[in-house]
Amino acid sequence: MAVKFEPMLTKFAHDPKQKKIAAYIRHGGYKAAEKAVKSFTPEEIIEIVKKSGLRGRGGAGFPTGLKWGFIPKDNSKPVYLAVNADESEPGTFKDRLLIESDPHQLIEGIIIACQAIKSETAYIYIRGEFALGAGILQEALKEAAKKKFIGKKIFGTGKKLDIFIHRGAGAYICGEETSLLNSIEGKRGYPRIKPPFPAIIGLYESPTIINNVETLCCLPHIILKGAEWFSSIGTEKSKGPKLFAVSGHVKKPGVYELPMTVTLREIIYNICGGMQDEKRKLKAVIPGGSSTPVLTLDEIDAVMCFDDIKKYKTMLGSAGVIVMDESVCMVDTAINLTRFYCHESCGQCTPCREGGTWLLKMLESIEAGAAKKEDIDLILDVCSQIEGRTVCPFGDAMVWPIQGFISKFRAEFELHIKSEKCPVEKDRGIRR
């Protein structure tokens, strides 16, 4: 991979002064916001972002410019921007870095997005556990308000923009966009039936756009350097730089900004220094956060973009890469993730609420060596009864990993059953 690639989202992530507005401005900050507020029409901004090929960085990969265009042209209600900073997908920790190290980049992105969708009010929904990040953002907002980049009469124009922080309180489901809206409205985090879509009926029955933190952070760079520049990075359908959060059994876990031409092999061995314990072989990799089906060691030449990776029956998701060596049992991993989903299920709809715990119990039974041969197919059958039948994609997110583990590591599941115990020598020790 010969890539002349310069990080831009995380360019100043290691500079502790970047949190302060003086440093941010010195590094070229808020120029793009000024342009967006003073020199572009909302339609022009939408066009630029559409041309750039920016796709949502929260996990769904939906084209951002297209999403913005869904707001009805004849709308007369206030428009809201909700920033999805609920980052809770296991394996994902990139938004945390952006928020804590470069909060003004996010604020500038919010200002630009609000110009595009004609919004005067934005809510940053940040997961409750990110108390540090919420504090840092609060300080940054104060600084931006002092400079009149937000508030009334921003950048010397008659426009106004208020940005508020709304803390989540420990619910992964609130990362789902309609659940996020219900949470802001002071309700239990139940996803809503779609249609109507949030761009039509969102917060307070008004049009609302929900964008991920990383997506918004791309905006200042697109405005300043142009759509062509952004779309020159990456593959044909996956433009721009991407943050990859790598964790697990690698020497150098962390957040890496890379173009989406990179392969999983390059990430693990070139970028992250290879396996943490060189005596242990690579066994499996989850490519894009816990909801994405696992890849075997034979599949790590997958190109980490939205589309190519699909041929391995998985997806890019939130680009949260979890690397597992041979000390990890796949059944145990399936249990770990299923327990996560069962704990986080909102409980609103039948298949996810009831089926999830059943799946967990069956998987635990396999790990305990107490299962029957037929149980693997029963698990797959229950998965198919949940998939596609739920109010929101949580049900799919819960069953895809299980289906992935069984599909790629069926022999390991069968060995558990045949030998009536877990055949893997698990390492439960601290690996630091």
Q: At its nearest, how many Å lie between other proteins and the CB of residue 138?
A: 12
Coarse DSSP helix, strand, coil percentages of the chain, rounded to the nearest 5 percent: 45, 15, 40
Q: Applying CB under 8 A, which of residues 65, 288, 356, 404 lies at the interface with other proteins?
A: 356
CA angle centred on 40, ends 26 and 31, rounded to 5°: 0
Please provide residue 198's backbone torsions phi and psi, each rounded to the nearest 5 degrees: -55, -30
Peptide bond into 241 cis (omega under 30): no
Which amino acid is residue 365, in one-letter code?
Answer: S
> Which residues in 54-73 contact other proteins (CB under 8 A)?
none
User: Is the Cβ of residue 71 or residue 246 nearer to other proteins in the bound state?
Assistant: 246
Q: What's the distance, Cα to Cα, between the start and end of the chain in Å?
A: 30
Q: Applying CB under 8 A, which of residues 65, 220, 253, 293 lies at the interface with other proteins?
A: 253
Q: Applying CB under 8 A, which of residues 10, 119, 183, 292 lies at the interface with other proteins?
A: 183
Please provide residue 73's backbone torsions phi and psi, each rounded to the nearest 5 degrees: -65, -30
State the DSSP code for 294.
P
Q: Does residue number 333 form part of the binding site for other proteins (CB under 8 A)?
A: yes
Q: Is 141 left (phi over 0), alpha (psi -120 to 50) or beta?
A: alpha
User: Is the Cβ of residue 64 or residue 182 nearer to other proteins in the bound state?
Assistant: 182
CA distance 158 to 154: 7
Stretch that binds other proteins, among 49-57, 105-113, 319-327, 402-410 (CB under 8 A): 319-327
Q: Applying CB under 8 A, which of residues 6, 193, 279, 425 lies at the interface with other proteins?
A: 193
Q: At its nearest, how many Å lie between other proteins and the CB of residue 260?
A: 20
Q: Does residue number 358 form part of the binding site for other proteins (CB under 8 A)?
A: yes
Q: Which residue has the tokens 């289906």?
A: 403
Pair of tokens at residue 78: 């206030």
Q: At its nearest, how many Å lie between other proteins and the CB of residue 25?
A: 26
> Which residues in 158-177 contact other proteins (CB under 8 A)?
164, 166-172
Q: Does residue number 340 form part of the binding site for other proteins (CB under 8 A)?
A: yes
Q: At its nearest, how many Å lie between other proteins and the CB of residue 32?
A: 26
Give how many residues touch other proteins by CB under 8 A: 80
User: Is the Cβ of residue 134 or residue 154 nearer to other proteins in the bound state?
Assistant: 134
Q: At its nearest, how many Å lie between other proteins and the CB of residue 81?
A: 14
E-state strands within 314-416: 320-325
Q: Applying CB under 8 A, which of residues 232, 235, 296, 385 lies at the interface with other proteins?
A: 385
Q: Applying CB under 8 A, which of residues 59, 65, 103, 189 lies at the interface with other proteins?
A: 189
Q: Applying CB under 8 A, which of residues 1, 3, 132, 411 lies at the interface with other proteins?
A: 132
CA distance 15 to 31: 20
> How many CA atoms lie within 13 Å of 293's alpha carbon, on the beta-carbon side?
20
> Which residues in 199-228 contact other proteins (CB under 8 A)?
204
Which amino acid is residue 418, in one-letter code?
Answer: K
> Which residues in 75-94 contact other proteins (CB under 8 A)?
78, 87-93
Site string for other proteins, 257-296 (x = CB under 8 A): -----------------------------x---x------
Q: Which residue has the tokens 């106004």?
A: 160
Q: Applying CB under 8 A, which of residues 188, 251, 310, 421 lies at the interface with other proteins?
A: 188
Closest CA relative to residue 283, chosen from 233, 318, 333: 333
> Which residues in 91-110 contact other proteins (CB under 8 A)?
91-93, 95-96
Peptide bond into 195 cis (omega under 30): yes
Q: At its nearest, how many Å lie between other proteins and the CB of residue 418?
A: 19
Q: Does residue number 396 form part of the binding site for other proteins (CB under 8 A)?
A: no
CA distance 68 to 272: 36
Q: Does residue number 343 form part of the binding site for other proteins (CB under 8 A)?
A: yes
Q: Applying CB under 8 A, which of residues 42, 63, 226, 254 lies at the interface with other proteins?
A: 254
> Which residues in 228-247 contact other proteins (CB under 8 A)?
245-247
Helix 375-386 to helix 356-367 angle (10° resolution) is 160
User: Is the Cβ of residue 219 or residue 386 nearer to other proteins in the bound state?
Assistant: 386
Q: Does residue number 393 form part of the binding site for other proteins (CB under 8 A)?
A: no
CA–CA distances in Å: residue 303 to residues 96, 130, 264, 311: 25, 31, 7, 10
Which amino acid is residue 280, in one-letter code?
Answer: R
Q: Does residue number 432 form part of the binding site for other proteins (CB under 8 A)?
A: yes
320 - beta bridge partners? 245
Q: At its nearest, how many Å lie between other proteins and the CB of residue 196?
A: 11
Q: Is 313 left (phi over 0), alpha (psi -120 to 50) or beta?
A: left
